Amino acid sequence: MKGFIVFQIMGALLLTPTLLWAGERTFTYEASEIIENSFENIIDISRDFENYCKECKYEVEEVVCQDLIEQGDDSHVYFWTHSASLIGTYKYFSTNEYTFVDEDTVVITTKYPEKQEADRLRKTYDLEHNTPFSFFSATWIIERISETTSRVSFEGVFQTNNPLAGLFKNSIQDGIEGCVADFLNKFYITN
């Protein structure tokens, strides 16, 4: 009986992180850098998002990104598949939109589509409706400081409804921040 009680306590402790993280959970992160690169070059690099996300590897996940729908020169829909041996596989869509505030400032917004649109996309591409989804939204602000210098600022939110995410919170956080850092590092490419 004593052994059974100990077993129950151990089981409860193991399940607690999952239970605490059941439902939607959010990670937030931000960065800002003044870099030696032209405003135009940075915009060109940022448009290379599809190639970037194909190269990006999370610590516990591999990311595959496909540009499925082109909605115009400055808007694309991306379908991400995350395959993690520990967490399982889950999928989500996100869009990337460019807004030129003026000739020296551009805001790049990455966001998850509204539920109705997301459901339509999932049905269109015959995705599993029981697959856990993640939600990724971010805002990049690129500002021209001089002809050769720019400021890049980033704020992002990553949400997931995967109940196992709580067990691997630190690894996921490290992976996301690593990918953000990798993306920022691409802006250091000079003429």
Q: What is the pLDDT along the chain (191 residues), one digit of tens a residue?
A: 433 333 333 333 333 333 334 455 666 667 677 877 788 877 776 665 444 444 443 333 333 444 333 343 333 344 444 433 333 344 444 556 677 888 888 887 766 555 566 566 555 544 444 455 555 567 778 888 998 888 888 777 766 655 555 555 555 555 555 555 555 555 444 33
What's the domain count of the chain? Answer: 1
* Residue 180 to residue 56: CA distance in whole angstroms: 9
Give residue 17's domain range: 2-186
Q: Does 146 map to a domain?
A: yes
The backbone region for 126, taken as left when phi is positive above 0, alpha when psi lies in -120 to 50, beta otherwise, is left
Tell whether 29 is covered by a domain. yes
Q: Which runs of consecutive H residues, i.e. helices, occur in 36-186?
A: 39-46, 49-55, 115-124, 169-186
pLDDT of residue 74: 38
Examine residue 156 and state whether it is found in any structural domain, yes or no: yes
Considering only CA atoms, which of 61, 70, 191 is closest in space to residue 136? 61
What does the pLDDT read at residue 152?
Answer: 80
Residue 139 domain-assigned (yes or no) = yes
> Would 191 be classed as within a structural domain?
no
Torsion over CA: 38, 28, 114, 50 (sign): positive
Q: What is the DSSP letter of 133?
A: B
Q: Which CATH number belongs to the domain containing residue 82 in this structure?
A: 3.30.530.20
Q: Amino acid letter at 5?
A: I
Q: What is the pLDDT of residue 1?
A: 42
Query: pTM for this structure?
Result: 0.49
Residue 84: the pLDDT is 38
